[in-house]
Amino acid sequence: MAGLTYDAGALIAAERNDRRLWALHRRALDRAIVPTVPAGVLGQAWRGGPQPQISRVLAGCRIEALDESRARSAGAACAAAGTSDVVDASVVVGAAARSDLVITSDEIDLRRLGDALGVDVRLQPI
């Protein structure tokens, strides 16, 4: 298993106690793979708590900051794809840079961004 990036759909699946997500997460951690959660994704899924399952999955993840460089790259990705969702774009930009598999509930939009950037984004629907 390569690296993993979780989008908001993955975090929401964790909160719903989705068995597929938890099995995948456990396999990753067993293989010393630390999934990445872009900070904007956390903002999309977090509603102030208590969200115990999201908190539990985040304990095994790395939160990726949306710094100036990533924000510019995400904005450029939005322009290239003709979209406006900077969070989706930040998922694609980061995952492409790391060659991560993205666990997502938004396959169509992420594929569109990857296509516009000319990168093959590996997606696993959840």
pTM: 0.95
Q: Is the dihedral of CA 38, 40, 44, 48 positive or negative?
A: positive
- Rounded to the nearest 10 degrees, the angle between the axes of helix 68-81 and helix 107-117 is 90
Q: How would you classify residue 15: left for phi > 0, otherwise alpha for psi between -120 and 50, otherwise beta?
A: alpha
What total number of domains does the chain contain? 1
Taking residues 94-116, report their average pLDDT.
Answer: 97
What per-residue confidence (pLDDT) applies to 49? 80
Looking up residue 14, the CATH number of its domain turns out to be 3.40.50.1010
What is d(CA 57, CA 109) in angstroms, rounded to the nearest whole number? Answer: 24
109: tokens are 């939009």
Q: In the predicted model, is pLDDT for residue 122 greater than 80?
A: yes
What is d(CA 51, CA 45) in angstroms, rounded to the nearest whole number? Answer: 10
What is d(CA 71, CA 86) in angstroms, rounded to the nearest whole number? Answer: 8
**pLDDT interval class at 101 (50, 70, 90):** very high
pLDDT by residue (tens digit) across 37-61? 999 999 999 998 899 999 999 999 9
4: tokens are 């993993």
Quote the domain boundaries for residue 109: 4-125
**pLDDT interval class at 26 (50, 70, 90):** very high
